[in-house]
Amino acid sequence: MQVQKNEKSEKINFSLFERLHKTIYTLEAREEEEPMLYFTITDKSGNLVRRISTKPQAGVSRIAWDLSYPDPNPTQLTPPPSNSYSFEFGDRIGGALVMPGEYAVSLAKRVDGVMTELVAPQPFTVQKLNNVTLPASDLAALTVFQRKIDKMQRSVFGAVEAANSIKTRLQYIKKALLDAEKPDVNLLQTASMLDKQMNKLLIALCGDVVIAGRNEPIPLSISDRVGQIVGDQITSTSAPTKTHEATYTIAANEFAPVLAELKKVIETDLTSLEKALDSAGAPWTPGRIPTWTKE
More confident residue, 156 or 92: 156
* Average of per-residue pLDDT across 77-101: 63
Please report which helix (H) or strand (E) contains residue 134, including its range: none
Instruction: Kindly report which listed range (22-26, 45-49, 50-54, 225-229) carries the lowest average pLDDT score.
Output: 22-26
pLDDT range class, residue 13, cuts 50, 70, 90: low
What pLDDT is stored for residue 84 in this prediction?
44
More confident residue, 295 or 221: 221
pLDDT range class, residue 123, cuts 50, 70, 90: very high
What pLDDT is stored for residue 92 in this prediction?
47
What pLDDT is stored for residue 113 in this prediction?
83
Reported as a single tens digit per residue, the pLDDT across 58-69 is: 888 888 898 999
Torsion of CA 71, 74, 79, 85, to 10 degrees: -50
Reported as a single tens digit per residue, the pLDDT across 189-221 is: 999 999 999 999 999 999 988 787 777 888 899
Confirm or reject CATH 2.60.40 for domain 36-126, answering yes or no.
yes
What pLDDT is stored for residue 259 in this prediction?
97
What pLDDT is stored for residue 133 in this prediction?
77
Instruction: Give me the chain's average pLDDT, please.
Output: 85
Nearest to 238 by CA among 146, 102, 103, 126: 146
What pLDDT is stored for residue 15 in this prediction?
63
**What type of residue is 272?**
S
Q: Where are the domains of the chain?
A: 36-126, 139-279
41 has which bridge partners?
A: 50, 105
What is the Cα gyration radius of the chain?
A: 26
pLDDT range class, residue 273, cuts 50, 70, 90: very high
pLDDT range class, residue 86, cuts 50, 70, 90: very low
Alpha helices for the chain (secondary structure H): 15-29, 139-178, 185-206, 209-212, 222-233, 242-264, 270-279
Please check the confidence at residue 82 and state whether its pLDDT lies above 80.
no
* Average of per-residue pLDDT across 103-132: 91
pTM of the prediction? 0.79
More confident residue, 57 or 49: 49
Please check the confidence at residue 295 and state whether its pLDDT lies above 90.
no
Can you tell me the distance from the alpha carbon of 73 to that of 260, in angstroms, rounded to the nearest whole number? 20
Instruction: Kindly report which listed range (30-39, 233-242, 250-259) carries the lowest average pLDDT score.
Output: 30-39
What pLDDT is stored for residue 58 in this prediction?
87
What pLDDT is stored for residue 85 in this prediction?
42
CB 49, CB 41: distance < 8 Å: yes
